[in-house]
A and B are shown apart, each in its own frame.
Chain A
Amino acid sequence: NAGVTQTPKFRVLKTGQSMTLLCAQDMNHEYMYWYRQDPGMGLRLIHYSVGEGTTAKGEVPDGYNVSRLKKQNFLLGLESAAPSQTSVYFCASSPPGVIYEQYFGPGTRLTVT
């Protein structure tokens, strides 16, 4: 099992450009999450999904969109990148139910200039 994988690992964007981050998991998990990690702020939830075709907003959703067309994939889109979106982005997945931990991908480091 590869677990949770993220593509790409690094990316540099210019302000106003768009891009999509791909998260894939092979554990057949129902729930998937996108976080951003910034120095001194821990991880903050951007969007999450509790199943194929469903998405919901987290703590910091502005400027991002997501889609969950297939159970194993969760895409995070930036329509018009801003320097404030420079961050490390983590995807996670978990089975349904509060007793389960989340499994994290290796992260994507995004720089917006």
Chain B
Amino acid sequence: AQSVTQPDIHITVSEGASLELRCNYSYGATPYLFWYVQSPGQGLQLLLKYFSGDTLVQGIKGFEAEFKRSQSSFNLRKPSVHWSDAAEYFCAVGARHTGNQFYFGTGTSLTVIP
């Protein structure tokens, strides 16, 4: 069965520090992986996605993620966090059967301190 685990419920970082949000997935085939961001009171916005090819993918707002098949991971990174990055981050895996269902992790809440 498909599943996504985000081990960190909440992370606090200082502005300007680097960031890594963890995501582990369980899927029987090559996964399609996504990271979304949700600002308070807003819908979800796509940060980046991985389908195939280069395992390091670049996204919007300076984010990147690396797919590691051996570790079943798709961790999100940013070299220098800005206060505006404070939000909830969700990792998702897309399943290859009818309807392209997404399975979301429980999310990681990011707080940025000045």
A interface, CB within 8 angstroms of B? 4, 31, 33, 40-45, 48-50, 56, 58, 90, 92, 94, 96-107
Contact = CB atoms under 8 A, between A and B. Distances in A.
Nearest to A51: B99
Interface of B: 9, 32, 34, 36, 41-46, 49, 51, 90, 94-96, 98-102, 104-107
B interface majority secondary structure: loop
B113 to A, nearest CB: 22
Contacts of B32: 98-99
Nearest to B34: A101
B100 A100 contact: yes
Given A42-B107, A45-B101, A103-B46, 10 more contacts: A4-B43, A33-B99, A33-B102, A43-B90, A43-B102, A98-B32, A100-B100, A104-B36, A104-B43, A106-B43
B90 A42 contact: yes
Contacts, number: 59
A interface majority secondary structure: strand
A43 B104 contact: yes
Contact of A101 (B49, B99, B104, B107): B49
Given A42-B90, A42-B106, A42-B107, A98 B100 contact: yes
A41 to B, nearest CB: 6
